[in-house]
Amino acid sequence: MNTVPFEPKPYHWSGPPPGEAMSAPPRFYTDPAIFEAEKTHIHLKTWFFAGRVDEIPAAGDYKSIETVGGPVLLVRDEKGVPRAFANVCRHRSSTLLDGCGHARSILCPYHAWSYRLDGALMGAPGMNDAPNFEKSKFGLTPIRLEVWDGAIFLNYDTAAPDLRSYLGNMPDLLGSHRMGDMVKVWDIQIEIGANWKLVLENAMETYHTGMVHSETIGAQRSISFPTQGEWHCIQVLSDRSIAVLGDTEAFPMIEGLSEQAGKGAFFTVIEPTTQFAFAQDCMWWLAVRPLAVDRSLLSIGGAFPRHFLDLPDFERRAAPYFSRWEAVAKEDVGILEKQQAGLSSALARPGPLCWRDDKVLALNQWIRSRLPSDILDEVIA
Ligand code: FES
Ligand SMILES: [Fe+2]
């Protein structure tokens, strides 16, 4: 039974009507002052996707990631609890662990301070005789972590609303995909010479697909969903999974999908930097890490229902998904770098948005509503 209380629309326009609505001014994507303001007022206050619990399945498993707030360590502690810490030593701030792996404790490579998996400082050579030194005060700095159906989200702001309230009705629409039963099977990282907002805007419109992706996914048709919470949603209509190209054999549909979920792939943006996409047989993500006003790190990953991995020919059947995700992403990167170059022109100006840019406008408005008006007035007026 479909209990999803969503009413899809051809497009969902809020603000100036099509024909009057314009793209954001070029400086929105090129001015370092905007980038700094976004960091302070948006990125350090909102939830962002950091990885999946199945990437650190056992006590002692860890994964280090880069975030807009600096290096972070995801660790499964001795009790099996996923935790996040600044990947920064409390002595003199060396980073601690690189990449991913397994460790019984966290050892600093500089002066050998060591930490338990729950972050407590365990050993600090030479500090025993230091008067007033209290080991208990120098554990690793924790970062707020919450999990939604296997997806780990972090937030630098201890006062921010919890993840569930932030996501609003997103779990209702996507619950039938049972993301909690999925396992990450693939990921890649791509550095992009473009502003982070362009990456997400591009990921939420199908206007460009017939042109940019003519050799891969081709033209697509999408509908939009009004949402409640800090996220946006479109659905690309297709009666078969679009996570694999052409007539390549797809995995079976996930059992128990809602009627709406069976109609195509949902593309979502959880503000500000996370895209989750859900086809009828899998999900994948784009996690965008803003590096500079004109540089971003894109982490792409894909997950399948756990029982698909037991299929004897899983590897063979999954490989075309990985090549499709990578090929399409690289096509997008190519056009985004052209767009960033164009936006940097002294002659670039805002342009009129097409009705198929409805979510571009929605994403622009979300960011602008969270930046201080003095900065917007100065940079964007
Ligand atoms: S910086 Fe880590 S022990 Fe000195
Ligand atoms: Fe694209």
Please compute the mean of the pLDDT values over residues 326-338 and round it to a whole number. Answer: 98
- Please name which ligand lies nearest the alpha carbon of 328: 2
Q: CA 232, CA 365: separation in Å to the nearest integer? A: 12
DSSP state of 92: T
Count of positions (residues) in the chain: 381
Supply the residue whose CA is at minimum distance from atom 1 of ligand 1. Answer: 92
The pLDDT tens digits for 85-94 are 999 999 999 9
Q: CA 143, CA 271: separation in Å to the nearest integer? A: 19
pLDDT, position 14: 80
Residues β-bridged to residue 147: 152
168: left (phi over 0), alpha (psi -120 to 50) or beta: left
pLDDT, position 7: 84
Report the number of secondary-structure helices (H) and strands (E) in the chain: 9, 17
Supply the residue whose CA is at minimum distance from atom 4 of ligand 1. Answer: 111
**How many whole angstroms from 217 Cα to the centroid of ligand 2?**
9
Is residue 4 over pLDDT 70?
A: no
Enumerate residues 6+ apart whose C-beta is below 8 A from 113: 89, 90, 91, 107, 121, 123, 124, 125
Model confidence band, residue 5 (pLDDT cutoffs 50, 70, 90): low
Is residue 21 over pLDDT 80?
A: yes
| pLDDT, averaged across the chain | 95
Q: φ, ψ for residue 18 (rounded to 5)?
A: -55, 140
Work out whether strand 151-155 and strand 144-148 pair parallel, antiparallel, or are unpaired.
antiparallel
The pLDDT tens digits for 206-253 are 999 999 999 999 999 999 999 999 999 999 999 999 999 988 999 999
What percent of the chain shows pLDDT beyond 90? 92
pLDDT, position 19: 84
pLDDT, position 1: 39
Please compute the mean of the pLDDT values over residues 123-133 and round it to a whole number. Answer: 93
The answer to whether residues 286 and 272 touch, using CB atoms and an 8 Å cutoff, is no
Q: φ, ψ for residue 123 (rounded to 5)?
A: -135, 140
pLDDT, position 260: 95
pLDDT, position 31: 96
Domains along the chain with CATH numbers: 27-45+169-380 (3.90.380.10), 61-145 (2.102.10.10)
Q: CA 110, CA 93: separation in Å to the nearest integer? A: 9
The pLDDT tens digits for 356-372 are 999 999 999 999 999 99
The pLDDT tens digits for 263-312 are 999 999 999 999 999 999 999 999 999 999 999 999 999 999 999 999 99
- Please name which ligand lies nearest the alpha carbon of 138: 1
Is residue 16 over pLDDT 60?
A: yes
Pocket flag, ligand 1, residue 221 (CB < 6 Å): no
DSSP 3-state helix, strand, coil percentages of the chain (rounded to 5)?
Answer: 30, 30, 45
pLDDT, position 2: 41
Pocket flag, ligand 1, residue 194 (CB < 6 Å): no
Pocket flag, ligand 1, residue 127 (CB < 6 Å): no
**How many whole angstroms from 202 Cα to the centroid of ligand 2?**
6
The pLDDT tens digits for 58-108 are 999 999 999 999 999 999 999 999 999 999 999 999 999 999 999 999 999
pLDDT, position 381: 60
Q: CA 286, CA 181: separation in Å to the nearest integer? A: 20
- Please name which ligand lies nearest the alpha carbon of 108: 1
Pocket flag, ligand 1, residue 163 (CB < 6 Å): no
Model confidence band, residue 379 (pLDDT cutoffs 50, 70, 90): confident
Candidate from 18-22, 110-114, 277-281, 291-295 with smallest mean pLDDT: 18-22
Residues β-bridged to residue 102: 61
